[in-house]
Amino acid sequence: MLRKIFIKQQFQFKLKISTLSDYRVSNKSLTSLASPKMSVLAAMMELVLNNLTMALVFLVVLILLLRYLQPSPYSLPPMPAWNIPYLGHIRFLMDAKTMGEKMYLKASKELKSSYIAVKFGKQYVVMPHKFEDLKEAFTSDQFIYHGENIIGGITINSGLFHDGQRWKAHRRFALHALRDLGLGKSRIEGKIQLESQKLVKLIASLNGEPTETIIILNTAVSNIICTMVFGHRFEYEDTLFKRLLQILNENTNKHMRPVFLSKFLPFLKYLPGDLTHAKRLKQNVDEIKTQILEPEIKRHIEKYDPDNIDDFIDAFIQEIKKLKDTDEEIYFNDEELMWNIEDLFFAGTDTTSTTLRWLLLCMIRYPDVQDKVRAEILDAIGPDRPPTMQDKKLLSYTQAVICEVQRMHTLTPLGSIHYSSDQPTKWKGYTLPPNTALSPNVYAIHHDEDHWEQPYQFNPNRFIGPDGKFQKDDHLVTFSVGKRSCLGESLARMETFLFFVAIMQNFHVKKPKNDPIPTLEGKLGILIGPYPHRVCFEKI
Protein backbone atom coordinates (compact mmCIF):
# COMPACT_ATOMS: atom_id res chain seq x y z
CA MET A 1 0.00 0.00 0.00
CA LEU A 2 2.77 2.45 0.96
CA ARG A 3 4.66 1.46 -2.16
CA LYS A 4 1.61 2.34 -4.32
CA ILE A 5 1.27 5.73 -2.62
CA PHE A 6 4.99 6.47 -3.09
CA ILE A 7 4.87 5.45 -6.76
CA LYS A 8 1.75 7.64 -7.27
CA GLN A 9 3.38 10.72 -5.66
CA GLN A 10 6.58 10.13 -7.63
CA PHE A 11 4.55 9.93 -10.81
CA GLN A 12 2.70 13.19 -9.96
CA PHE A 13 6.01 14.94 -9.21
CA LYS A 14 7.52 13.75 -12.51
CA LEU A 15 4.34 14.89 -14.24
CA LYS A 16 4.74 18.39 -12.79
CA ILE A 17 8.40 18.51 -13.80
CA SER A 18 7.48 17.29 -17.24
CA THR A 19 4.74 19.92 -17.49
CA LEU A 20 7.15 22.71 -16.49
CA SER A 21 9.68 21.47 -19.02
CA ASP A 22 7.01 21.39 -21.67
CA TYR A 23 6.07 24.97 -20.69
CA ARG A 24 9.61 26.18 -21.12
CA VAL A 25 9.82 24.52 -24.49
CA SER A 26 6.44 25.72 -25.68
CA ASN A 27 6.74 29.12 -23.90
CA LYS A 28 3.31 28.74 -22.31
CA SER A 29 2.29 31.10 -19.53
CA LEU A 30 2.92 30.18 -15.90
CA THR A 31 -0.40 31.67 -15.00
CA SER A 32 -2.17 28.45 -16.07
CA LEU A 33 -0.43 26.58 -13.25
CA ALA A 34 -0.07 29.19 -10.53
CA SER A 35 -2.54 30.46 -8.00
CA PRO A 36 -4.50 33.66 -8.83
CA LYS A 37 -2.04 35.81 -6.84
CA MET A 38 0.93 34.18 -8.53
CA SER A 39 -0.76 34.65 -11.89
CA VAL A 40 -1.08 38.42 -11.34
CA LEU A 41 2.54 38.64 -10.18
CA ALA A 42 3.76 36.73 -13.20
CA ALA A 43 1.73 38.94 -15.52
CA MET A 44 3.20 42.08 -13.94
CA MET A 45 6.71 40.67 -14.29
CA GLU A 46 6.10 40.00 -17.95
CA LEU A 47 4.73 43.55 -18.38
CA VAL A 48 7.81 45.04 -16.75
CA LEU A 49 10.19 42.89 -18.78
CA ASN A 50 8.41 43.50 -22.06
CA ASN A 51 7.46 47.17 -21.50
CA LEU A 52 10.38 48.68 -19.59
CA THR A 53 9.91 52.10 -21.15
CA MET A 54 6.26 52.21 -20.16
CA ALA A 55 7.15 51.15 -16.64
CA LEU A 56 9.77 53.88 -16.31
CA VAL A 57 7.32 56.48 -17.58
CA PHE A 58 4.73 55.27 -15.08
CA LEU A 59 7.30 55.47 -12.28
CA VAL A 60 8.35 59.01 -13.19
CA VAL A 61 4.73 60.17 -13.43
CA LEU A 62 3.97 58.54 -10.09
CA ILE A 63 6.94 60.24 -8.40
CA LEU A 64 6.04 63.63 -9.90
CA LEU A 65 2.41 63.23 -8.87
CA LEU A 66 3.38 62.29 -5.32
CA ARG A 67 5.71 65.29 -5.14
CA TYR A 68 2.99 67.57 -6.48
CA LEU A 69 0.43 66.25 -3.98
CA GLN A 70 2.84 66.47 -1.06
CA PRO A 71 1.58 68.99 1.51
CA SER A 72 3.47 72.30 1.31
CA PRO A 73 5.03 73.83 4.41
CA TYR A 74 4.19 77.26 2.97
CA SER A 75 0.98 79.26 2.73
CA LEU A 76 0.11 81.64 -0.07
CA PRO A 77 -2.51 84.30 -0.87
CA PRO A 78 -5.56 83.16 -2.85
CA MET A 79 -4.67 81.59 -6.19
CA PRO A 80 -6.74 81.50 -9.41
CA ALA A 81 -7.91 78.18 -10.84
CA TRP A 82 -6.09 76.17 -13.48
CA ASN A 83 -2.77 75.80 -11.70
CA ILE A 84 -1.48 73.11 -14.06
CA PRO A 85 1.12 70.76 -12.50
CA TYR A 86 4.67 71.88 -13.36
CA LEU A 87 3.39 74.60 -15.69
CA GLY A 88 1.37 76.63 -13.22
CA HIS A 89 -0.87 79.46 -14.42
CA ILE A 90 0.64 79.42 -17.89
CA ARG A 91 -2.66 80.61 -19.38
CA PHE A 92 -1.89 84.11 -18.08
CA LEU A 93 1.20 84.17 -20.31
CA MET A 94 -0.70 83.19 -23.43
CA ASP A 95 -2.22 86.63 -24.06
CA ALA A 96 -0.53 87.89 -27.23
CA LYS A 97 -1.61 91.52 -26.73
CA THR A 98 -1.06 92.24 -23.03
CA MET A 99 1.03 91.09 -20.10
CA GLY A 100 -2.08 89.56 -18.57
CA GLU A 101 -2.70 92.52 -16.27
CA LYS A 102 -6.45 92.59 -17.00
CA MET A 103 -6.76 88.85 -16.38
CA TYR A 104 -4.96 89.20 -13.03
CA LEU A 105 -7.25 92.09 -12.08
CA LYS A 106 -10.31 89.98 -12.95
CA ALA A 107 -8.94 87.09 -10.87
CA SER A 108 -8.32 89.46 -7.95
CA LYS A 109 -11.94 90.61 -8.05
CA GLU A 110 -13.27 87.04 -8.33
CA LEU A 111 -11.14 85.94 -5.37
CA LYS A 112 -12.17 89.09 -3.46
CA SER A 113 -8.57 89.75 -2.47
CA SER A 114 -6.38 92.79 -3.14
CA TYR A 115 -3.39 90.49 -3.56
CA ILE A 116 -3.21 87.11 -5.24
CA ALA A 117 -0.57 84.47 -5.93
CA VAL A 118 0.20 82.75 -9.21
CA LYS A 119 2.77 80.17 -10.22
CA PHE A 120 4.84 79.83 -13.38
CA GLY A 121 6.84 76.61 -13.51
CA LYS A 122 8.49 76.47 -10.09
CA GLN A 123 8.31 80.23 -9.52
CA TYR A 124 5.70 81.64 -7.14
CA VAL A 125 4.63 85.24 -7.77
CA VAL A 126 2.63 87.43 -5.38
CA MET A 127 0.70 90.29 -7.00
CA PRO A 128 -0.57 93.30 -5.01
CA HIS A 129 -3.43 95.14 -6.73
CA LYS A 130 -3.72 98.07 -4.33
CA PHE A 131 -1.33 100.96 -3.72
CA GLU A 132 -1.27 100.35 0.04
CA ASP A 133 -0.11 96.74 -0.39
CA LEU A 134 2.51 97.77 -2.96
CA LYS A 135 3.91 100.48 -0.69
CA GLU A 136 4.01 98.17 2.33
CA ALA A 137 5.90 95.49 0.40
CA PHE A 138 8.39 97.68 -1.44
CA THR A 139 9.29 100.00 1.41
CA SER A 140 10.20 97.08 3.66
CA ASP A 141 13.36 94.96 3.53
CA GLN A 142 11.40 91.82 2.64
CA PHE A 143 11.41 92.32 -1.13
CA ILE A 144 14.65 94.08 -2.04
CA TYR A 145 16.25 91.26 -4.00
CA HIS A 146 16.45 90.98 -7.75
CA GLY A 147 16.57 87.22 -8.10
CA GLU A 148 18.40 85.33 -10.80
CA ASN A 149 19.17 87.70 -13.66
CA ILE A 150 19.12 86.24 -17.17
CA ILE A 151 20.50 88.16 -20.12
CA GLY A 152 20.55 86.32 -23.39
CA GLY A 153 20.07 83.00 -21.66
CA ILE A 154 23.13 83.56 -19.45
CA THR A 155 22.78 83.86 -15.71
CA ILE A 156 24.71 86.90 -14.53
CA ASN A 157 25.20 88.89 -11.36
CA SER A 158 26.37 92.23 -12.64
CA GLY A 159 25.39 95.85 -13.09
CA LEU A 160 22.68 97.66 -11.17
CA PHE A 161 20.58 94.47 -10.79
CA HIS A 162 22.67 92.93 -8.03
CA ASP A 163 21.55 91.68 -4.67
CA GLY A 164 23.04 92.08 -1.21
CA GLN A 165 26.19 94.08 -0.54
CA ARG A 166 27.13 94.21 -4.21
CA TRP A 167 23.83 95.86 -5.09
CA LYS A 168 24.13 98.32 -2.20
CA ALA A 169 27.65 99.29 -3.29
CA HIS A 170 26.63 99.83 -6.92
CA ARG A 171 23.42 101.72 -6.18
CA ARG A 172 25.20 103.96 -3.67
CA PHE A 173 27.93 104.68 -6.21
CA ALA A 174 25.48 105.32 -9.06
CA LEU A 175 23.40 107.75 -6.99
CA HIS A 176 26.48 109.73 -5.95
CA ALA A 177 28.04 109.66 -9.42
CA LEU A 178 24.90 110.76 -11.25
CA ARG A 179 24.25 113.46 -8.67
CA ASP A 180 27.81 114.79 -9.03
CA LEU A 181 27.38 114.76 -12.81
CA GLY A 182 24.38 117.05 -12.48
CA LEU A 183 21.40 114.71 -12.27
CA GLY A 184 18.44 116.79 -11.15
CA LYS A 185 20.47 120.00 -11.40
CA SER A 186 20.89 122.83 -13.89
CA ARG A 187 23.99 121.19 -15.38
CA ILE A 188 22.06 118.29 -16.89
CA GLU A 189 19.08 120.55 -17.57
CA GLY A 190 21.28 122.59 -19.91
CA LYS A 191 22.23 119.44 -21.82
CA ILE A 192 18.58 118.45 -22.20
CA GLN A 193 17.69 121.95 -23.40
CA LEU A 194 20.45 121.77 -26.01
CA GLU A 195 19.24 118.37 -27.19
CA SER A 196 15.60 119.51 -27.28
CA GLN A 197 16.52 122.38 -29.59
CA LYS A 198 18.37 120.00 -31.91
CA LEU A 199 15.29 117.77 -31.86
CA VAL A 200 13.10 120.75 -32.81
CA LYS A 201 15.42 121.52 -35.74
CA LEU A 202 15.30 117.89 -36.87
CA ILE A 203 11.50 117.85 -36.76
CA ALA A 204 11.31 121.19 -38.59
CA SER A 205 13.50 119.78 -41.36
CA LEU A 206 10.77 117.23 -42.11
CA ASN A 207 8.59 120.09 -43.44
CA GLY A 208 5.40 118.52 -42.17
CA GLU A 209 5.93 115.22 -43.98
CA PRO A 210 4.63 112.09 -42.22
CA THR A 211 7.19 110.36 -40.02
CA GLU A 212 7.40 107.56 -37.47
CA THR A 213 8.41 108.95 -34.08
CA ILE A 214 10.36 105.98 -32.67
CA ILE A 215 13.74 106.83 -34.16
CA ILE A 216 13.71 110.61 -33.74
CA LEU A 217 12.63 110.43 -30.09
CA ASN A 218 15.02 107.58 -29.25
CA THR A 219 17.79 109.62 -30.87
CA ALA A 220 17.25 112.65 -28.66
CA VAL A 221 16.73 110.73 -25.42
CA SER A 222 19.68 108.37 -26.00
CA ASN A 223 21.98 111.31 -26.58
CA ILE A 224 21.32 112.49 -23.03
CA ILE A 225 22.49 109.11 -21.70
CA CYS A 226 25.50 109.27 -24.04
CA THR A 227 26.40 112.69 -22.67
CA MET A 228 26.23 111.47 -19.08
CA VAL A 229 28.00 108.15 -19.69
CA PHE A 230 30.52 108.93 -22.46
CA GLY A 231 30.94 112.66 -21.93
CA HIS A 232 29.81 113.51 -25.46
CA ARG A 233 26.76 113.34 -27.70
CA PHE A 234 26.50 111.84 -31.18
CA GLU A 235 25.37 113.53 -34.35
CA TYR A 236 22.04 112.12 -35.46
CA GLU A 237 23.51 110.71 -38.69
CA ASP A 238 26.45 108.97 -36.99
CA THR A 239 26.54 105.37 -38.25
CA LEU A 240 27.63 103.86 -34.94
CA PHE A 241 24.99 105.82 -33.04
CA LYS A 242 22.25 104.71 -35.44
CA ARG A 243 23.32 101.10 -34.95
CA LEU A 244 23.18 101.54 -31.16
CA LEU A 245 19.62 102.86 -31.45
CA GLN A 246 18.64 99.98 -33.72
CA ILE A 247 19.97 97.41 -31.24
CA LEU A 248 18.26 99.07 -28.28
CA ASN A 249 14.97 99.12 -30.20
CA GLU A 250 15.31 95.44 -31.20
CA ASN A 251 16.11 94.36 -27.66
CA THR A 252 13.16 96.22 -26.17
CA ASN A 253 10.52 95.40 -28.75
CA LYS A 254 11.55 91.93 -29.94
CA HIS A 255 13.94 90.05 -27.70
CA MET A 256 13.57 91.01 -24.04
CA ARG A 257 10.05 89.67 -23.47
CA PRO A 258 10.76 86.11 -24.73
CA VAL A 259 13.92 86.05 -22.61
CA PHE A 260 11.89 87.32 -19.67
CA LEU A 261 9.41 84.47 -20.09
CA SER A 262 12.26 81.95 -19.96
CA LYS A 263 12.99 83.25 -16.47
CA PHE A 264 9.66 81.81 -15.28
CA LEU A 265 9.56 78.84 -17.66
CA PRO A 266 13.20 77.69 -17.83
CA PHE A 267 12.43 74.65 -19.99
CA LEU A 268 11.83 77.03 -22.92
CA LYS A 269 15.59 77.57 -23.14
CA TYR A 270 16.14 73.91 -24.00
CA LEU A 271 13.67 73.68 -26.87
CA PRO A 272 15.07 73.54 -30.43
CA GLY A 273 15.81 76.81 -32.19
CA ASP A 274 15.95 80.24 -30.60
CA LEU A 275 12.42 80.29 -29.22
CA THR A 276 13.37 82.61 -26.35
CA HIS A 277 15.39 84.97 -28.59
CA ALA A 278 18.32 84.34 -26.22
CA LYS A 279 20.91 83.95 -28.97
CA ARG A 280 19.81 87.07 -30.81
CA LEU A 281 19.74 89.09 -27.60
CA LYS A 282 23.22 87.90 -26.67
CA GLN A 283 24.52 88.79 -30.14
CA ASN A 284 23.16 92.32 -29.74
CA VAL A 285 24.59 92.70 -26.25
CA ASP A 286 27.99 91.47 -27.42
CA GLU A 287 27.94 93.88 -30.36
CA ILE A 288 27.25 96.84 -28.08
CA LYS A 289 30.14 95.72 -25.88
CA THR A 290 32.72 95.21 -28.62
CA GLN A 291 31.75 98.02 -31.00
CA ILE A 292 30.82 100.79 -28.56
CA LEU A 293 31.54 100.18 -24.89
CA GLU A 294 35.01 98.63 -25.00
CA PRO A 295 36.46 101.37 -27.27
CA GLU A 296 34.87 104.09 -25.09
CA ILE A 297 36.20 102.54 -21.88
CA LYS A 298 39.67 102.14 -23.41
CA ARG A 299 39.67 105.80 -24.48
CA HIS A 300 38.64 106.91 -21.00
CA ILE A 301 41.34 104.81 -19.33
CA GLU A 302 44.00 106.32 -21.59
CA LYS A 303 42.95 109.92 -20.93
CA TYR A 304 41.91 109.49 -17.28
CA ASP A 305 42.52 112.57 -15.14
CA PRO A 306 41.48 112.34 -11.46
CA ASP A 307 41.03 116.11 -11.38
CA ASN A 308 38.69 116.14 -14.35
CA ILE A 309 35.80 113.70 -13.88
CA ASP A 310 33.43 114.49 -16.75
CA ASP A 311 31.16 111.46 -17.04
CA PHE A 312 30.00 108.17 -15.57
CA ILE A 313 32.90 106.15 -17.00
CA ASP A 314 35.43 108.55 -15.46
CA ALA A 315 33.65 108.27 -12.12
CA PHE A 316 33.64 104.46 -12.29
CA ILE A 317 37.36 104.32 -13.13
CA GLN A 318 38.00 106.61 -10.19
CA GLU A 319 36.00 104.27 -7.95
CA ILE A 320 38.00 101.24 -9.16
CA LYS A 321 41.25 102.98 -8.22
CA LYS A 322 39.83 104.25 -4.94
CA LEU A 323 38.68 100.81 -3.77
CA LYS A 324 41.81 98.92 -4.76
CA ASP A 325 42.97 96.62 -1.95
CA THR A 326 39.68 97.09 -0.03
CA ASP A 327 36.80 94.69 0.65
CA GLU A 328 34.68 96.32 -2.06
CA GLU A 329 37.33 95.97 -4.77
CA ILE A 330 35.60 92.88 -6.17
CA TYR A 331 32.46 94.92 -6.88
CA PHE A 332 34.13 97.34 -9.30
CA ASN A 333 35.94 96.24 -12.46
CA ASP A 334 35.72 96.69 -16.23
CA GLU A 335 33.08 93.98 -16.63
CA GLU A 336 30.88 95.57 -13.98
CA LEU A 337 31.33 98.94 -15.68
CA MET A 338 30.02 97.60 -18.99
CA TRP A 339 26.95 96.07 -17.33
CA ASN A 340 26.26 99.33 -15.47
CA ILE A 341 26.37 101.25 -18.75
CA GLU A 342 24.04 98.81 -20.49
CA ASP A 343 21.63 99.03 -17.56
CA LEU A 344 21.62 102.83 -17.80
CA PHE A 345 20.94 102.77 -21.53
CA PHE A 346 18.12 100.26 -21.20
CA ALA A 347 16.45 102.04 -18.28
CA GLY A 348 17.11 105.57 -19.54
CA THR A 349 16.25 105.45 -23.23
CA ASP A 350 13.15 103.44 -24.13
CA THR A 351 11.11 104.36 -21.06
CA THR A 352 11.29 108.11 -21.70
CA SER A 353 11.00 107.92 -25.49
CA THR A 354 7.99 105.58 -25.21
CA THR A 355 6.32 108.00 -22.78
CA LEU A 356 6.86 110.81 -25.30
CA ARG A 357 5.36 108.68 -28.08
CA TRP A 358 2.25 108.09 -25.96
CA LEU A 359 2.03 111.83 -25.25
CA LEU A 360 2.14 112.72 -28.95
CA LEU A 361 -0.39 110.01 -29.81
CA CYS A 362 -2.78 111.32 -27.16
CA MET A 363 -2.39 114.84 -28.55
CA ILE A 364 -3.61 113.46 -31.89
CA ARG A 365 -6.52 111.60 -30.28
CA TYR A 366 -7.52 114.52 -28.01
CA PRO A 367 -7.03 117.68 -30.11
CA ASP A 368 -8.85 119.87 -27.57
CA VAL A 369 -6.32 118.81 -24.94
CA GLN A 370 -3.48 119.60 -27.35
CA ASP A 371 -4.87 123.08 -27.97
CA LYS A 372 -5.17 123.74 -24.24
CA VAL A 373 -1.60 122.54 -23.58
CA ARG A 374 -0.18 124.75 -26.33
CA ALA A 375 -2.18 127.77 -25.20
CA GLU A 376 -0.84 127.37 -21.66
CA ILE A 377 2.75 127.06 -22.93
CA LEU A 378 2.55 130.07 -25.24
CA ASP A 379 0.85 132.16 -22.57
CA ALA A 380 3.47 131.27 -19.92
CA ILE A 381 6.77 131.30 -21.85
CA GLY A 382 5.97 132.53 -25.34
CA PRO A 383 6.91 131.06 -28.72
CA ASP A 384 10.67 131.66 -28.68
CA ARG A 385 12.23 131.06 -25.25
CA PRO A 386 13.25 127.42 -24.64
CA PRO A 387 11.41 125.91 -21.66
CA THR A 388 13.16 125.38 -18.33
CA MET A 389 12.32 123.36 -15.25
CA GLN A 390 11.39 126.62 -13.54
CA ASP A 391 8.43 126.79 -15.90
CA LYS A 392 6.80 123.72 -14.33
CA LYS A 393 4.99 125.81 -11.75
CA LEU A 394 3.51 127.88 -14.62
CA LEU A 395 2.38 124.85 -16.60
CA SER A 396 -0.02 123.03 -14.29
CA TYR A 397 -2.27 121.67 -17.03
CA THR A 398 0.71 120.44 -19.06
CA GLN A 399 2.01 118.58 -16.00
CA ALA A 400 -1.45 117.11 -15.45
CA VAL A 401 -1.57 115.86 -19.05
CA ILE A 402 1.81 114.15 -18.67
CA CYS A 403 0.64 112.40 -15.49
CA GLU A 404 -2.68 111.34 -17.00
CA VAL A 405 -0.94 109.81 -20.01
CA GLN A 406 1.41 107.93 -17.68
CA ARG A 407 -1.59 106.68 -15.70
CA MET A 408 -3.69 105.62 -18.67
CA HIS A 409 -0.81 104.07 -20.61
CA THR A 410 1.31 102.25 -18.07
CA LEU A 411 4.61 101.22 -19.69
CA THR A 412 5.18 98.33 -17.28
CA PRO A 413 1.71 97.05 -16.25
CA LEU A 414 3.24 94.47 -13.91
CA GLY A 415 5.79 96.86 -12.51
CA SER A 416 9.27 96.14 -11.31
CA ILE A 417 9.68 92.58 -10.03
CA HIS A 418 11.29 92.21 -6.61
CA TYR A 419 12.10 88.98 -4.76
CA SER A 420 12.09 87.79 -1.19
CA SER A 421 15.24 86.29 0.32
CA ASP A 422 16.35 82.67 0.02
CA GLN A 423 14.56 81.97 3.31
CA PRO A 424 10.80 81.63 3.97
CA THR A 425 9.20 85.07 4.32
CA LYS A 426 6.29 86.10 6.55
CA TRP A 427 3.97 88.52 4.75
CA LYS A 428 0.40 89.48 5.67
CA GLY A 429 -0.04 86.31 7.71
CA TYR A 430 1.27 84.03 4.96
CA THR A 431 4.53 82.07 4.86
CA LEU A 432 5.96 82.59 1.39
CA PRO A 433 8.46 80.14 -0.15
CA PRO A 434 12.09 81.27 -0.55
CA ASN A 435 12.76 83.55 -3.54
CA THR A 436 9.10 84.41 -4.05
CA ALA A 437 8.67 87.11 -6.70
CA LEU A 438 6.53 90.15 -5.96
CA SER A 439 5.11 91.79 -9.07
CA PRO A 440 2.63 94.63 -8.48
CA ASN A 441 -0.24 95.01 -10.91
CA VAL A 442 0.45 98.67 -11.64
CA TYR A 443 -2.29 98.66 -14.26
CA ALA A 444 -4.79 97.76 -11.51
CA ILE A 445 -3.41 100.46 -9.21
CA HIS A 446 -3.67 103.06 -11.99
CA HIS A 447 -7.27 101.99 -12.70
CA ASP A 448 -8.43 101.44 -9.12
CA GLU A 449 -12.08 102.48 -8.96
CA ASP A 450 -11.78 102.98 -5.20
CA HIS A 451 -9.31 105.81 -5.79
CA TRP A 452 -9.73 107.20 -9.29
CA GLU A 453 -13.07 108.59 -10.45
CA GLN A 454 -13.98 107.01 -13.81
CA PRO A 455 -10.49 105.52 -14.15
CA TYR A 456 -10.97 104.38 -17.77
CA GLN A 457 -11.68 107.92 -18.95
CA PHE A 458 -8.87 110.24 -20.08
CA ASN A 459 -9.14 113.24 -17.75
CA PRO A 460 -6.07 115.38 -16.96
CA ASN A 461 -8.15 117.49 -14.57
CA ARG A 462 -7.93 114.72 -11.95
CA PHE A 463 -4.40 116.08 -11.31
CA ILE A 464 -5.61 119.67 -10.87
CA GLY A 465 -6.35 120.80 -7.32
CA PRO A 466 -9.14 123.12 -6.10
CA ASP A 467 -6.79 126.09 -6.52
CA GLY A 468 -6.28 125.31 -10.21
CA LYS A 469 -2.69 124.20 -9.65
CA PHE A 470 -1.08 120.87 -10.42
CA GLN A 471 -1.73 118.32 -7.67
CA LYS A 472 0.53 115.30 -7.26
CA ASP A 473 -1.05 111.90 -6.53
CA ASP A 474 1.02 109.19 -4.83
CA HIS A 475 -1.12 106.49 -6.43
CA LEU A 476 0.62 107.26 -9.72
CA VAL A 477 3.55 104.85 -9.38
CA THR A 478 5.21 105.20 -12.78
CA PHE A 479 8.67 104.91 -11.23
CA SER A 480 7.77 102.40 -8.51
CA VAL A 481 8.47 103.05 -4.82
CA GLY A 482 10.92 101.89 -2.19
CA LYS A 483 14.56 100.89 -2.26
CA ARG A 484 14.41 99.44 -5.77
CA SER A 485 12.66 102.47 -7.26
CA CYS A 486 13.88 103.87 -10.58
CA LEU A 487 17.39 105.27 -10.25
CA GLY A 488 16.86 107.83 -13.01
CA GLU A 489 13.44 109.11 -11.99
CA SER A 490 14.50 112.76 -11.75
CA LEU A 491 16.26 112.57 -15.13
CA ALA A 492 13.25 110.92 -16.79
CA ARG A 493 10.85 113.52 -15.39
CA MET A 494 13.10 116.34 -16.59
CA GLU A 495 13.51 114.87 -20.07
CA THR A 496 9.79 114.16 -20.48
CA PHE A 497 8.80 117.68 -19.46
CA LEU A 498 11.41 119.61 -21.47
CA PHE A 499 11.12 117.57 -24.67
CA PHE A 500 7.31 117.54 -24.63
CA VAL A 501 6.98 121.26 -23.94
CA ALA A 502 9.52 122.10 -26.66
CA ILE A 503 7.58 120.07 -29.23
CA MET A 504 4.19 121.51 -28.25
CA GLN A 505 5.65 125.02 -28.25
CA ASN A 506 6.78 124.70 -31.87
CA PHE A 507 4.49 122.23 -33.62
CA HIS A 508 0.91 121.21 -34.12
CA VAL A 509 0.76 117.39 -34.03
CA LYS A 510 -1.73 115.53 -36.21
CA LYS A 511 -2.14 112.31 -38.17
CA PRO A 512 -1.41 112.24 -41.92
CA LYS A 513 -4.51 112.98 -43.99
CA ASN A 514 -4.99 109.51 -45.49
CA ASP A 515 -3.76 107.47 -42.52
CA PRO A 516 -6.18 105.72 -40.15
CA ILE A 517 -6.68 107.13 -36.67
CA PRO A 518 -3.95 105.49 -34.54
CA THR A 519 -5.20 103.11 -31.91
CA LEU A 520 -4.82 103.70 -28.18
CA GLU A 521 -4.21 99.98 -27.65
CA GLY A 522 -0.66 99.19 -26.61
CA LYS A 523 1.82 96.97 -28.43
CA LEU A 524 3.30 94.18 -26.34
CA GLY A 525 7.03 94.22 -25.65
CA ILE A 526 9.17 94.52 -22.56
CA LEU A 527 7.38 97.90 -22.40
CA ILE A 528 3.85 98.63 -23.60
CA GLY A 529 4.20 101.25 -26.33
CA PRO A 530 2.01 102.53 -29.16
CA TYR A 531 1.64 100.55 -32.34
CA PRO A 532 3.68 102.01 -35.23
CA HIS A 533 1.96 105.04 -36.68
CA ARG A 534 2.93 108.15 -38.57
CA VAL A 535 2.76 111.73 -37.35
CA CYS A 536 2.79 115.10 -39.10
CA PHE A 537 4.46 118.03 -37.30
CA GLU A 538 3.16 121.36 -38.59
CA LYS A 539 5.34 124.33 -37.62
CA ILE A 540 3.44 126.98 -35.71
323: CB partners within 8 A, 6+ apart: 329, 331, 332
Residue 481 backbone dihedrals phi, psi, to 5 degrees: -140, 165
| 362 labelled binding-site residue | no
* Contacts by 114-119, CB closer than 8 A, 24 or more apart: 115/77, 115/428, 116/77, 116/78, 116/79, 116/80, 117/76, 117/77, 117/78, 117/79, 118/79, 118/80, 118/83, 118/88, 118/89, 118/92, 119/79, 119/83, 119/88, 119/89
Are 436 and 115 within 8 A, CB to CB?
Answer: no
Q: Is the dihedral of CA 345, 348, 354, 360 positive or negative?
A: negative
Residue 84 backbone dihedrals phi, psi, to 5 degrees: -75, 130
491: CB partners within 8 A, 6+ apart: 178, 183, 184, 188, 224, 348
Gap between the Cα atoms of 63 and 53, Å rounded: 15
Q: How far lies 535's CA from each of 249, 363, 403, 515, 538, in Å?
A: 19, 11, 22, 9, 10
Q: How far lies 179's CA from each of 185, 221, 318, 344, 444, in Å?
A: 8, 19, 15, 14, 33
Gap between the Cα atoms of 262 and 270, Å rounded: 10
State in Å, rounded, how far the first CA of the chain is from the last one: 132
Kindly report the number of other CB atoms within 10 A of residue 322's CB atom.
12
Q: Which residues are annotated as a binding site?
A: 486
Q: Which residues are annotated as a binding site for heme?
A: 486
